[in-house]
Structure 1
Amino acid sequence: MSDENKRRTSVGIYGQQYIIIGTESNEHIRRVAASVDEKMRQISAKNPALDISKLAVLTAVNAVNDYIKLKEQYDLLESEFKKLKD
């Protein structure tokens, strides 16, 4: 994809400003950033002694865990749907 199709979106995550460059809409990028910020704040509230690096890794682990669970649910539903179609 060419650079001309990419957008630059400024977002704040956990008190830091970032420029995200990608093809998704600015609204989508802001929703993603808000979700990351919220998750970081939730984890930090439960573990206030975590440094920023460990907080970021735990946030990533939580996000991927959520993704895997949703993917497994999706795959199961897709499999059940295919059985109904046959």
Structure 2
Amino acid sequence: MEKTKTVVSIGGKEYTICGTDSAEYIHRVALHVNKKLTELKKANPDLNNIQLAMLTSLNIADEYMKTSDELAAAKKELERTQKEVERLEKGAGTTNRTTPFNKR
């Protein structure tokens, strides 16, 4: 896959990002990071750039971990539900046979 060079702005500075993802995706990621950095800078104006970058990284990692945990729980629930559906379908196939109506 070809590498894409994309210039993004984070915290008022421009960075050239190289990657195999589309330029649109790289911009979306950079916008997310910039949004978090801006929010944290407003809430913590006394932090220096390194502290701000670290806090931004920790907040994004926190979001990632929570989302990852939610996804894992949803996958487990889906598997449990699929097994229950299979069990019910098997049970319905053996115990709920219909008999034809008697004609009068």
TM-score range, shorter chain: over 0.9
Matches for 1:1-86 after TM superposition, within 5 Å: 5-86=2-83
Q: Rg: which structure is higher?
A: 2
- Residue 45 of structure 2 aligns to a residue whose secondary structure is coil
Identity among equivalent pairs (%): 35
- Misfit runs of 4+, over 6 Å: none
- Identify the structure with bigger relative contact order (alpha carbons < 8 Å, sequence gap 6+): 1
TM-score by length of 1: 0.94
Q: CA RMSD in A?
A: 0.8
1:23-69 CA distance string (max 9 Å, x none): 01000000110111110010000100100000000000000000000
Unaligned regions of 5+ residues in structure 2, if any? 84-104
Equivalent pairs counted in the alignment come to 83
